[in-house]
Amino acid sequence: MSGNFETLLSSVAANPDARLDSLEMMTEAEKQRQDSEKRERQEARARRLRRVSREAVDLAPADLS
């Protein structure tokens, strides 16, 4: 929590006229963790989609004509 406060204070010092919603609050470690989690979620969705697509193909009738 203190890391967030330090980041916020540094952001305020660097941009004293900035709007509060534009100031940075997340530490670099938090940003990296958040990016990593986002990539993991995207990869998991892609794996599920590939699995569902394969299952749909396996369930398709052999002769469509």
32 vs 50, higher pLDDT: 32
- What's residue 52's pLDDT? 81
Q: How confident is the model at residue 59 (pLDDT cuts 50, 70, 90)?
A: low
Q: What is the pLDDT of residues 3-48, one digit of tens each?
A: 899 999 999 999 999 999 999 999 999 999 999 999 999 999 999 9
Q: Classify burial at 27, counting beta carbons within 10 Å of its beta carbon; exposed 0-12, middle 13-18, buried 19 or more.
A: middle
- What's residue 44's pLDDT? 96
Domain boundaries, the chain: 2-59
Question: pTM here?
Answer: 0.61
| Degrees, nearest 5: CA angle 16-20-23 | 70
- What's residue 65's pLDDT? 52
